[in-house]
Amino acid sequence: MLLECVPNVSEGRDAALIARLADAAGRDAALLDRSSDPDHHRTVLTLAGSPQALHHALLRLYEVALAGIDLRRHQGVHPRLGAVDVVPFVPLGSTPTAVAVAAAERLGAAVAERFGLPVWLYEEAARPGRRRALPAIRRGGLDGLARRLAAGERPDFGPAALHPTAGATVIGARPILIAFNVVLASDDLALARRIAAAVRQRAPGGLPAVRALGVPLPQRGLVQVSMNLLDYRRTPPRAAFDRVRAAAAASGVRVLESELVGLVPRAALSEEDAEHVRLREFSPERYLETRLAAAGLAAASGGDEKGIDRPANP
């Protein structure tokens, strides 16, 4: 059974701490990728391994993160609830979704017990009648979550109070997701937010299976449309880029470049697509299949593109 796990940690600037986080996570599982952004103040790690290996790797990651991150001093443009903000498990190849759900539940219970963190489960791991979508859990940020706790909401595991320095954590199971950002040649945040609002799934005429935010990039003096492509078969990166580019052009603004956060299945993005979307620093090393093969995990993942990228089995 092979799982991918993509923990998002609220640290994107301290190189020494980021190195310690990556080292901790990579001791028991294969560390396939590390993406850090100082404006988002966030690091996304891509791990792969057995459920047991990932469990140990993630407990090490939480230990280092909680020792080094204090959300009271954290400022970044990305929404967040915790020092280790969100930890999704992704079934690969023939691994059933139930294995990812079980891994999420096991980790949630362990994190709550060991570190005193309130834990919310999301997506496929969400319990009946509970908030399922990550944006719904994050709504209102830490202050909103604190108000809901005060009003009687309870986490799935752990105390009904935020950790004083680490906040909360959200753990779940989901299919492959592509984090894809388009940078505009502009500092107009209102424009980026209008474009994000127009392209996201819930907007009239929006792109299916797309979540989007408009965010500033203060260190670059630019703005970005930051997207999660929840199902690249319905909206691949090229389609998302073209929609953002058209909306920006309608306001007289050009697209500067795009970027991936983490890895991408080969079926989602050809090398010609990567050139079309002006993807920064792209090479075949950004393919999930390439990294799995380098880690000796290709056979466990299904061994080819069709094995790795099909929808998770129920």
Which residues are tagged catalytic? 78
How many other β-carbons are positioned within 10 Å of the β-carbon of residue 262? 20
**Tokens in use for 281?**
């620093």
